[in-house]
Structure 1
Amino acid sequence: MTYGTGDPDEGKGAKSTLASSVYHQLRDDLLRGALESESKLRVEWVVARYGAGASPVREALNRLAAEGLLGRHDQRGFFLMPVSAAELEELTHTRCWLEERALRESIAHRTAEWEEQLVLALHRLARADRRLPDDPATNNPEWEKLHRAFHRALISACRSHWLIGFCDQLSDQASRYRLISQRGPGTERDDIGEHRTIAERTLDGDADGAVGALLNHYRMTAALCMERFNQGYAPLAAGKARRVRK
């Protein structure tokens, strides 16, 4: 016979671990556009998909809603936030605005350790394959992690955890648009060249040049996504329909 420890927090810890696991799995699926066919995320459906109980699932869903990655209707459950050209335009404008300040602050307060971390982040990104070798239409999850790490390293010396947190939140939203729009054949683009230019100008202490390269990088991504809107690409065009669906 097995006995519990008697610790009243033991069950809470297990629940928290399950909720965290569901949160990370669901978050990854949201950001890579794997759930775009689901207009609503009912608790029962999420329980079945991720193999967790209703309580940790609700905790994970509430956390994602608080971060803006899910919407929530009172008494009516959770839903995927709709995508739209107008939302993407506002998102890009706000992200450029905040990350310009974060990058300028990082350059102003640069340290040798920060420079080393940025060089390492660029090196790791350059060595990774952007697309999966056996599925060229799909982005490599490992590249996505390294891409996120590079952009995070750029602004990590800004000395404001609030600013970094806001930038992280906007990065999540931007990644969702980018990954949805990049499914299928994409426009050829020198991704690593763009990132290398940003890093080189940053390391040279050229704040204006670094900011210009970074904002051009984000605006080019948004422009490519806008092309998909104009082409009526299904996951993006569906955003208009979902916005009015109740």
Structure 2
Amino acid sequence: MIVSPPLHKDGTATVGDALLQTVRFDIIRGQLLPNQRLRLEKMREAYGASVTTLREMLNRLVAEGFVVAEGQRGFEVAAISMAELRELAEMRTMLECHALDRSISLGSLEWEAGVVSAHHMLHSVENGLIGGETSAVETWVQYDWNFHSATVAACDMPALIATHTNIFGRYIRYHLLALDFRGAAVARDHEKLRDLVISRQIDPAVTLLKAHIRAGMDHIIASGKIPA
């Protein structure tokens, strides 16, 4: 999942926020593995940032739940577990269902167009995966985020959306560690959700979303790649 960093008034990302985005995404996509020690000198060479900037960035990732501070030992990538996956799935369900309810109630015609556009791109990638293009799984995860984000984009609660973005990112990390697409069923879910959302059917859309998240969690667990 790629989330744009805050910008200066001239439209450029701050160095610290751009670095935060890069390292967060490297954790989400498994470039930095669970429990991996984050040695500041090696990170300085890899990311081209000062130790001070790296330390500040890592402390922010600690607050977000992607990194763990080990006292005098420094930092390491947060571990994964079945218990956390289940907790994140439950948190995502609560936050996203409420945001979806409000978004459907408040969304404009432009919001509907955004949902349809995001689904069109997701659908194209899903058709490729169903046809055997297994190399596109990481792209699918990105477009899956884009679609679900579009469905809740009209929600008028910024704090809820910010929290949902964090939880979704941590949840997607498990998807990318499993690196598996669950087939035509998920594509059908997305198509149905699109139709329910733009036809403003709140209760059926929320019911489908709950089942969709649960099925995704069960698929990740079935991969056998998540420790107990």
**Under TM normalisation by the shorter chain, which class is it?**
0.7 to 0.9
1:200 to 195, 199, 209: 195
2:122 to 125, 136, 141: 125
**What fraction of aligned residue pairs are identical, expressed as a percent?**
29
- Hey, what does 1:97 align to over in structure 2? 94
- Hey, what does 1:226 align to over in structure 2? 221
Alpha-carbon distance in 1 for matches of 2:167, 2:43 = 25
TM-score (norm 1): 0.78
1:57 to 49, 54, 67: 54
1:136 and 2:105 correspond: no
Q: Using a 3 Å threshold, how does the CA distance of structure 1 residues 34 and 213 change in structure 2: closer, same or farther?
A: same
The structure with the larger Rg is: 1
TM-score (norm 2): 0.83
Q: Give how far 1:47 is off.
A: 1.4
- Hey, what does 1:156 align to over in structure 2? 153
Cα displacement string for residues 121-165 of structure 1 (whole angstroms, at most 9, x for unaligned residues): 11122223666x998356234x43332221111111121001111
Alpha-carbon distance in 1 for matches of 2:156, 2:182 = 36
1:1-246 equivalences under 5 Å are: 17-36=14-33, 39-128=36-125, 136=134, 139-141=137-139, 143-182=140-179, 187-228=182-223, 231=224, 233=225, 236-237=226-227
Alpha-carbon distance in 2 for matches of 1:117, 1:144 = 18
Unaligned runs of 5+ in 1: 1-15, 241-246
Cα displacement string for residues 14-40 of structure 1 (whole angstroms, at most 9, x for unaligned residues): xx8433332222111100112216522
Q: In structure 1, the residue corresponding to 2:72 is in which secondary structure? A: coil
Q: In structure 2, the residue corresponding to 1:128 is in which secondary structure? A: helix
Letter in 1 for 2:152: I
Q: In structure 2, the residue corresponding to 1:210 is in which secondary structure? A: helix
Cα displacement string for residues 57-88 of structure 1 (whole angstroms, at most 9, x for unaligned residues): 22221221221111112332111111111111
Which shows bigger deviation, 103-112 or 54-63? 54-63
Alpha-carbon distance in 1 for matches of 2:196, 2:136 = 30
Q: Give how far 1:219 is off.
A: 0.7
Q: Using a 3 Å threshold, how does the CA distance of structure 1 residues 51 and 123 change in structure 2: closer, same or farther?
A: same
Which shows bigger deviation, 120-129 or 25-34? 120-129
Q: In structure 1, the residue corresponding to 2:46 is in which secondary structure? A: helix
Alpha-carbon distance in 2 for matches of 1:37, 1:163 = 27
Letter in 2 for 1:31: I
How big is the alpha-carbon RMSD for the aligned residues of Structure 1 and Structure 2?
2.4
Letter in 2 for 1:44: E
